[in-house]
Structure formats: structure tokens, C-alpha cells
Structure 1
Amino acid sequence: MLISFQAILPLFLMIALGYVAKRTVFDINMLPGLNQFVYFLAVPALLFNAASKASIDNLINGPALAAFFVGVALTGMVVVLASRVLFKANNAEQLVLRALNGTFANYAYMGIPLTFAIFGDKAYAATVSIILAGNIFLIGGAQLLIESIRQKEVGFKPMLSILDRSLLRNPIFISTLLGLFCSYHSLIMPGSVQTLLDMLAPAAVPVALFCLGASLKFAKTSIPFSELGWMIVVKLAIHPALTLVTFWLLNVNDPIWMATTVLLTALPTGALAHVVALKYDVFEKETSQIVVITTVVSLLSVTLWMSWLQ
């Protein structure tokens, strides 16, 4: 339990630092620029390095990835259904962000140190696979859905336009795809380019969390406290529990992939969900609170999940 607490605490302290800096020395007008740096440079560098340095054969575990996606789908449906029936939320774009908050975890920022601390190098393939799948299909998929909702026309050309804006120009999708391409063809970046990537990648975690803290506002939002509490329970308890059940139902017997995937889904809502909310100006304040509060509560919940999975 002490290992998990020590791994999570610095991340929470970085969020707190951003919040304190905003109230003391940080110019809030700089926040959009820092968010753009994270979205277009730092995170793509982090994902490119992860994808390019991993063997594709080791990254692909069909049954385990299927269990992960089924768990995500079930959790997303639970969130949307509860949002509509219990909390009377009908705005389509906000429902997409609610589902993203309930299913997208802090895979890279918290997942890598936690899974490696518990399971060691044998968790590398599962960890990287879930990180890549989560960023491509959850972050990219959420943007695709929002772009589709905002698209007034229907047809082949409008769909191409949606794909272009949501994926083909999406730095997260492109950087991951390029990394997998380099891995498959055993391509090595020139020394100076790789050095640049290695300089950018570590900045993704602290800057994203700092921006999250700087954008945090504890003022009342449109989301009621009952729904906020519900979203916390979904992300930290229901999502990992459904993922675990899915592994059992699909009879996926790889213990490392199962334990790693369940632990990753038990993590709090990832900061990239807030980046997406900022980009589209949808559910932004609510997402900020969900990310931060799930991170705080995860100090206890993730510790319990890690202890049980060990």
C-alpha cells in the first residue's frame, strides 16, 4: 500500500502546485498556450517513444484487448444511461464527455510508474498497449463523436471531413501511428531528433497536471454533487470491476494482462479528458473537477485495488 501511495502523491502535488501558482504568480492567460504545448508536442512525443520502442507482436493480445474494450463499452453505456435517466442530461456532446470521464483513465501519467512498481518489466507490453488503445480509441473516438454531432451534413464527404478533423489531424493519433510504423520497420530516428523527443516526452506529465491544477475552479458547476459522486464511483470502482468481470466472462487467462488492465482502468480520470473538454469548450469545468477529485480519492481506492491485485 505504501508503494502505491508514494506513486500517486507527487501527481496530486503537481496539480496542487498549478492551483497555487494560478492564485499567486501564474498568468492564467498563459494556460491555453501551455495546453497546446501538451496536446501538440509533449504528449505526442511521449506516445511516439512508447510505440516506436515496443515490439508490435508483444503489444497485440487480442482476447485481453477485447476484454478491455468490452469493459469500456459497458461502462460508457452505464454512464450515458444513468446521465439520461437519473440526472436528466440530454446534451449529446456533454454525454460524450461524461462517458469519456467515466472510461478514460490516467493510463500514461500514473499507470506506467504503478504497473512497473508492482509487476516489473513483464507488465510493459500490457501497459503500453492499453495506453495506446486508450489514447487512440477513447480520446480519438470522443473527438470523432463530437465532430460528428457538430457536422450538419451527412454523406461520404462530410464523414471524410470528420475523420480529417478528429483523427487525421489529431497529433495523438498521428504520433502513435508513426511510432508503430517505426517499430514495425525497425526504423531509428536520427540522433538529434530522438534527443528532441526525449526532451519533450517527460514534460507531458508535469505540464498537463500543472495546467489541470491551474484551470481548477471550485465554484459551483452545472453538475450536481450527486452526479459528481456517481462519476467518482463509476471511474474508480465500477469501471475496473466491469473490466475484471469481462476478463472472467471471456475466459482470458493471462494473469499479468488481467491484473495490469484492471489496475489501469482503476486509475482516476486522465488529464487528457480535460484537454479534450478545453479544445471543444464542452463540460470543461465539470471535467476539471472530476479529474482532480478522482485523483484525490484514488489515493485510497487505487491503493486498495493494487493491494488486492497483488
Structure 2
Amino acid sequence: MAIVNIIFPIMFMVTLGYGLTRVGFFSKEHIAGISKFTFYVSIPAFLFTNMLAAPLAQSIDPYSLLAFYIPVLLVFVIGYQINRYIGPITQRNSDASAIYALGCSYSNTVIVGLPVITAALGKAMIGSIFMIITFHSAFLFALTFVLAARSQQQGFSWRNFSRSMVLNPVVLSISLGIIANGLTIKLGEQLDDGLALLAKPALACALFVLGANLSFYRIGDNWRLALIASGLKILLLPALVYVMAAIVCQLPAQNTMMLVLLSASPLGVNAYLIATEVKQHQATLGSTVVLSTLLSVLSFSLWLTWLT
């Protein structure tokens, strides 16, 4: 499949969302409503139905998890140290460094990674993709909050964090899909058709909302740190994942491509929300979301050309 055939439909939806929101056809309140439907209804239906149908025996691969998460942890550490040494003087503490590290390593796996991979590989790898996605937010958010809590008076609550992760619509829908798959639960033709119809607009809506949200962010004063974070996120991280997957773990070509494309995804908006909650590097991560999303077109094109 030509690279343009993979990238163009994705960028078309992102550009459409950005353009229509930028000219005022959709307001922030409209996008908030579409986002709520997308992330709490349509995407969970998509994840659940696909996880229910996925071949679990082929999806659980510890080597794929290691090939993805070891580079993620390494880039997180690099980002942490970069902020400690070259970040703004007032933001060289543990919580700001943890937030910046998150901005260097957290991937937009569902909104961007999933559409790119399904366009390139079809749905053959979808079970393996979901295994990566299930632990992705929990791993990085827990690491960030634990490090940030060292300089926060209230500390870190595992109870609150566990509750938020369990009730996360992505984690919950994939987990329920795994349970239903393992128990070979049959939903019935009518419910299957209803969920399939609900899941159909998931990826298109997610890309549209991504583009719309980009119109609300601006590249701020910390653009240099944002550019460094973007480079680590969409260039260094996938390169390290490629080395781990193809050379160290010697995974099959399709598994390697899936992991590299997931890691080459831009910074997820949730990282910006965490920065807002911790009150550190909000402008930097907001800028990184915009920059890494724009530059990811080049990164995806590079890796698709290399791996196909």
C-alpha cells in the first residue's frame, strides 16, 4: 500500500477537524460534546468488540511488551534528566521533570497510533495493539505521579490512582473484552450489530476531535523544550523500539512495525491534562502536543517507508 494512501485519510480527518473549528463552525462546547461521545461511547465499543474477537493466545507476547516498554522507560529517564539540567531554573524540580519526561515518552496510541496501524496492517495485529495500550497510561501516569509526589505535600494515593485507571474507558473496555473473550461469551447477533454500528465512527471521530483540539492550543514560549520533547518522542523512541524489536528480541516484521508505529505516535493530549493537574510545564506540553502531531506526519512516512 502506498504511504500516501495510509497517511492521507488520517491527515484529512485531522485537518478537517482543525479547519472547521478554527473558522468557528464548531465551538469548544460542540467539540466537548463530540469528544464525550467519542471517548466514552464509540471508542469503548470499538475496543470492546475488537478485543472480544481478537485471538488472545497470539496477542499476549512478553517480548513485544519488553520491546516497547524498555525504550519508553529509557526515553522517560532521558527526558527527566534533560529537564533537570537545561529546563527553566524554577522548573528543575522532581515534579516538573517528571511531567516533562511524560511529555517525551507518552504516545497517542488510541487516537493516532491505532488508525495508522490498522490502515497499514489491517486488523491482524489489533489484539497485540490492545495489550500494549492497556498498560500504557497506567505505567507512565503512575511513574509520573510517584516522582511528582516527592515534591507535593499531598503525596500520591495508589487508591485514587487505581480507581481512576480501572474506570478509564479505554482500560475498562479492553479489560471487559478480554474477560468476555476468555469466557467465550456470545452477545447475540442483534447486540453484535448494535455495537458494531456504534464502533464504526470511533476512529474517524477521534481524529476529527484531535484536529479540533489542536486549534485550541498554541506553541508557547517554551518551544525549544517542546521541540526537544517532540524529537525524543517521534524520532528517538521509535528508533529504540525498532532496535529492541527487530534486533534484540528478533520479533516478526509485522510485530516490529506495529510497535514502531505505536511509539512514533505524537504526544497524547492526556499528558497535557496531567501537566495541568500537577501545574508544571503546561505550556511546554501543550506546545509539544501541537509540534509532535504536525511532525509525526514526517515520522510516520519515514518509518512506513523503512518498514514496508
- The TM-score by the shorter chain falls in which range? 0.7 to 0.9
In structure 2, the CA distance between the partners of 1:7 and 1:188, relative to structure 1 (3 Å rule), is: same
Q: Which runs of 5+ in 1 are unaligned?
A: none
What's the CA shift string for 1:187-219, capped at 9, x where partnerless?
122334333322332333233333333332354
> What secondary structure, in the 3-state scheme, does the structure 1 residue paired with 2:197 have?
helix
SS in 1 for 2:200: helix
- How far apart are 1:41 and its partner, in Å? 1.7
Alignment of 1:87-98 (within 5 A): 87-88=87-88, 89-90=91-92, 95-98=97-100
SS of alignment partner, residue 252 of structure 1:
coil
String of CA shifts for 1:109-131, please: whole Å, max 9, x gaps: 4445544555566xx23x43234
Give the corresponding residue for 1:152: 154
Does the residue aligned with 2:216 lie in a helix, a strand or coil?
Answer: coil
| Higher mean displacement: 142-151 or 235-244 | 142-151
1:1-310 to 2 correspondences below 5 Å: 3-22=2-21, 23-88=23-88, 89-90=91-92, 95-112=97-114, 114-116=116-118, 118-119=120-121, 124-125=124-125, 127-134=126-133, 136-144=134-142, 149=149, 152=154, 158-164=157-163, 166-215=164-213, 216-217=215-216, 219-221=218-220, 224-247=222-245, 250-270=248-268, 273=271, 286-310=284-308
1:218 and 1:266 map into 2 onto residues whose CA distance is 21
1:102 corresponds to which letter in structure 2? C
Matched residue count: 300
* Mean CA deviation greater in 212-221 or 62-71: 212-221
In 2 relative to 1, CA 110–172 (structure 1 residues): closer, same or farther, beyond 3 Å? Answer: closer
Letter in 2 for 1:196: G
Q: Secondary structure of the residue that 1:17 maps to in structure 2?
A: helix
Identity level (%)? 24
CA contact (8 A) 1:48 1:176 kept: yes
Q: 1:9 to 1:294 in 2, by over 3 A?
A: farther
Cα shift at 1:220: 4.8
Go from structure 1 to structure 2 and tell me whether the alpha carbon gap of 1:18 and 1:259 turns closer, same or farther (over 3 Å shift): closer
AA in 2 matched with 1:74:
L
Consecutive unaligned residues of structure 2, counting only runs of 5 or more, are none
- Call closer, same or farther: CA 1:87–1:212 in 2, change over 3 Å: same
Deviation at 1:80, TM superposition (A): 1.8
> How big is each residue's C-alpha offset from its partner over 1:28-47, in whole Å with a ceiling of 9 and x where there is no partner?
22333333323322222221
Change (3 A) 1:282 1:198: farther
Instruction: Give me the whole-angstrom Cα distance separating, in 2, the residues matched to 1:188 and 1:111.
Output: 29
- Give the aligned residue type for 1:34: I
Provide, for residues 218-240 of structure 1, a one-character-per-residue CA deviation record: whole Å limited to 9, x for no partner: 54535x22112112211221001
Q: What's the RMSD between the two structures over aligned residues? A: 3.2
TM-score for the superposition, normalised by structure 2: 0.81
Distance 1:105 1:67 in 2: 15
* TM-score normalised by length of structure 1: 0.80
CA distance in 1, matches of 2:210, 2:276: 10
Task: Please state how far the C-alpha of 1:67 moved relative to its aligned partner.
Answer: 1.3
Q: What displacement does 1:7 show?
A: 1.9
